[in-house]
Structure 1
Amino acid sequence: MKKLTLLSAALASVMVLTACESGFNDSVKEYCDTQRKQAPSEIEALPQITAFVPMKFEPKTDRMPFVLPKPEISQPASAKPVSCEQPDRERPMEELEQYSLDNLFMRGTIMMDNKLRALIQTADGVVVRVVPGMHMGLNFGKVIRVAPDSVEVEEFISDGNGCWNKKSSRIDLIEAE
């Protein structure tokens, strides 16, 4: 009885394996062939690794690596009076002096009280009416002229020695797209 059961189990397994063999082997062989064709022919060599060279730390001369550096001490400005042109630092700051001229955009003009006023928009989206004499920009800029298509601003640029040079800039009208 045991021999018969063992024989029937062996016969069944042989039949199952032969039935699967024909379709399975063909698809596996086809897959392997396509993979061989797509495989790269050469493998790139690994890059050369440079050897790490440790540096000797001298605590008395080198800066401590986990401590923030101290700010440099600058030379105090000379106390002698400067005889060149200076911006007026005593006047109160105006609304548009907190923005760089690069962040201000001319959106149009409007005529009020027989004066042409420019409509200047900040990067925040606030629109301010500007007339000659107002100040704008980070470099003590003063509006010199308002034209229908531009605003002319005269700025003070420091020369680093305590004197200031005037520079003329212009903000052009940005047309709607």
Structure 2
Amino acid sequence: MIIFSRPFSRLILAAAIATLAGCSSDPTTDLADYVQQVKNQQRSAIEPLPEFKPYESFSYAATDLRDPFTVPAFSHQQAAVISDKPTSSGIKPDFERPTEPLEEFPLDSLRMVGTLEQMKNNWALINDTDGTIHRVQPGNYAGQNHGKITRITDFEVELTEIVPDGIGGWIERQASIAISE
């Protein structure tokens, strides 16, 4: 049998009384009063939602249209129909010369992959979209705008293209194919 000392008993009795005193009052009375006060307030009317216009989607199909950032490419027959006469500066493409393989491809689809040099002759290696590598030198043609290769460096191929000026004549334009990384 365990014998409790008098101070220990008093401590237990004080703890029990404090616990019972804490349970005697309802701590949620303040909360209940506030909830009742809010419920008693006048309710304001809620504005109806605004009418929204139905959204009409727009379908943009540009797959069949020309790229707006490139000059229109004309076939040799179309170009001859546009103008077979030289401009006042005397510039016009030579439609009588045989076409070269790289003239089938747009200039921006061709990639320079390297250079060759032998006995002071420079060649550039050009990769087309079919994966074929072509060896070209100054004087060859590339691109669909009558681009004549004028200079080959280690980093690019420089061309002079002859393009329609939009008013029935022709103008020269400088272009280049940079080496691919």
Give the structure-1-normalised TM-score: 0.53
> Residues of 1 paired with 2:157 and 2:132: CA distance?
17
Q: Deviations over 1:62-110 (max 9, x none)?
A: xxxxxxxxxxxxxx97898754311101111100000011000000011
> Residues of 2 paired with 1:78 and 1:129: CA distance?
32
TM-superposed CA distance for 1:124, in Å, is 1.4
Match of 1:127 among 112, 122, 133: 133
Q: Deviations over 1:118-174 (max 9, x none)?
A: 000011111000100000101000000011111001001111222111001011111
Matched, 1:103 2:109: yes
> Residues of 1 paired with 2:83 and 2:126: CA distance?
39
Q: What is the total number of aligned residue pairs between the two structures? A: 107
> Residues of 1 paired with 2:83 and 2:97: CA distance?
24
> Residues of 2 paired with 1:156 and 1:109: CA distance?
25
Larger mean CA deviation between 121-130 and 155-164 belongs to 155-164
Q: Deviations over 1:31-61 (max 9, x none)?
A: xxxxxxxxxxxxx8885559xxxxxxxxxxx
TM-superposed CA distance for 1:112, in Å, is 3.6
* Unmatched tracts of structure 1, length 5 or more: 1-43, 51-75
Matched, 1:142 2:148: yes
Give the conservation status (yes or no) of the 8 Å contact 2:112–2:180. yes
> Residues of 2 paired with 1:159 and 1:47: CA distance?
50
> Residues of 2 paired with 1:48 and 1:113: CA distance?
75
Alignment of 1:1-177 (within 5 A): 47-48=52-53, 83=88, 84-175=90-181
> Residues of 2 paired with 1:170 and 1:110: CA distance?
18
Which residue identity is paired with 2:122? L
Give the conservation status (yes or no) of the 8 Å contact 2:147–2:160. yes
Higher CA-based Rg: 2
> Residues of 2 paired with 1:103 and 1:133: CA distance?
20
* Unmatched tracts of structure 2, length 5 or more: 1-48, 56-80
Deviation >2 Å, runs of 4+ = 44-50, 76-84
> Residues of 1 paired with 2:179 and 2:136: CA distance?
13
SS at match of 1:87: coil
SS at match of 2:108: helix
> Residues of 1 paired with 2:180 and 2:84: CA distance?
45
CA root-mean-square deviation: 2.8
> Residues of 2 paired with 1:94 and 1:107: CA distance?
19
